[in-house]
Each structure stands twice: as structure tokens, then as C-alpha cells.
Structure 1
């Protein structure tokens, strides 16, 4: 692990790429619950009977729900997955994120998916072909962090944030 800076006498370390990606995958699993509850709420309130009806409105609703979820927890320093993996998100100076910076990070975090989705949109690809392209882009995006001097993800660099290892509390 690479030492990033000394803040308040504590050494903050960048988590390894493997640990950050494990956290990322765990976050995706936890988002299943958020999607389920939000989808149920949307379907109930909109009286949607068919999954294909109102799908664009559902996608917009989920975008907002995800934004609320991530901005709220990032402004507090960690999501549940980040707590599990002892990772914290801070600004460049090591301070907690403001809600505005957390919102900027959320919007920029869509760089994990949007370039690949935009690349497959003009083509009539099967689900498995699209999955390969999106998964390939996610891998490339993650590996690109190795080219960044502090080994942060590029959306964090653009947002003025960084992921750091949070020391475990004595248990």
C-alpha cells in the first residue's frame, strides 16, 4: 500500500486495487436491495403492471435514489460496503466530503459504465456481448488507476476525492 499523506498525525493509505474492487462488488450486491425496494415503491405508486411500461421513468427514479443513497453515505464518510472493507472517502485534504462534492463524485462515478454503454448503444448486441464490453470497460477503468500517481480512480481525481484505508478500531 502507498502512503498518501499525514493528516492529524495518522497515516492515510490508499487501499489496494483488489480491496477497492472487492468493496465495489460488495456495494453492487447491496444495491440489489436498494433497487428492489425502490422498484417496488415505484411500481406501487405508479401502478405499473408491466415491467416494460414506464421503464425510462423507473431508470430516472433509480438514478435519483442511487444518488441520494451514495451522496448521503459518502458525506458521512462510508457506505456499508466501505465500512466492511475499512475504506473511507475523503476530499483531497483528508476532510469529510461536503454533500456537493459527494454529488459531484456520484455523477462522475457513472464513468464506470456510461462510456461502455454509449459504445454498445448503436449496435444491436446481445445481452452477453454487451456484458463483455461493459465488464471489459470496468476492468480497464479500474486498471487505469494504476497510472494515477496516488493510484486513485480517475473519477475521484476529477471530483477532488480519494479513497483511503481507514484504520480498524480496537475491537
Structure 2
């Protein structure tokens, strides 16, 4: 959960920057609920954020702090397609009030819903180099 918090704070900063870059195109005004482009834009930015880290080393800043990597079940780097599937499944997990994350407690392999759906998982990395 600490890794999720680390990543959330970094993502929040990225989303603030992404919003600041987009505001001039909206005359500096706040976005309204009728502007569907804005939440879609933030979702794409969020996916690119996680997807890039997952496909380039398997670690976000939060995962790196805790020596955890996102890999396929056979411990290989994930592709952009798997990153997209994992991202969408993680969104589903959050939309179901976090039940996809709580699932780890009862799963025999300690996998979340998005681990199962994307056939990826979190692996603890050793500190040895």
C-alpha cells in the first residue's frame, strides 16, 4: 500500500502538470463536466505514466522504493498490451471500492484482480547486484 501511495503522489504531480499544459487551450478556465475530453485526457496520461514505468524496468518510483517489480507470471518484462490490460483491470478494482486489491488477502497466490486478468504480478526483488 505504501508503494501505491508513493505512486499516487507522483501521478498527482504529473496530472497537475498535464492540466497546466492544457489550460491555455481552454482559455485558462476550469474544465466542466460537459467537456468529456478532459477526463479521457487524464486517463491517457495516467496510463502512459504507469505503462512507461511497467514496460521500462517494471518499476514505478513507489515500486522501486520497496524493491518490487511488475512482471509477467513467468517473470519476464511486460508489453504495452499487458500494461494496458493491467491498467484497465486496476481501474476496475478501484471502481469496485478496492475489492480487487483486497482480493490479495484471500487469494492463495496473493494476486489481485488485475494480476489475474493481465497475467502479471508483483515480485519482490533481491537487493543483491
Decide whether aligned partners of structure 1 residues 53 and 108 sit closer, same or farther in structure 2, where only a CA change above 3 A counts.
closer
**Map of 1:1-171 to 2, 5 A cutoff?**
21-52=1-32, 55-76=35-56, 77-115=58-96, 137-138=97-98, 140-169=99-128
Q: Deviations over 1:55-106 (max 9, x none)?
A: 5321110001111111111111111111111110000111000111111111
Q: Which has the bigger relative contact order, CA under 8 A and spacing at least 6? A: 1
For 2:104 and 2:49, the matched residues in 1 are separated by 25
Runs of 4+ displaced beyond 3 Å: none
Contact preservation (8 Å) 1:88, 1:166:
yes
Contact preservation (8 Å) 2:85, 2:118:
yes
**Structure 2 residues not aligned, in runs of 5+:** none
Aligned-residue RMSD, C-alpha: 1.8
For 1:65 and 1:151, the matched residues in 2 are separated by 29
Q: Which structure is larger by alpha-carbon Rg, 1 or 2?
A: 1
Contact preservation (8 Å) 2:69, 2:125:
yes
TM-score, length of structure 2 as denominator length: 0.88
TM-score, length of structure 1 as denominator length: 0.68
What is the DSSP-based 3-state SS (H/G/I as helix, E as strand, rest coil) of the residue aligned with 1:93? coil
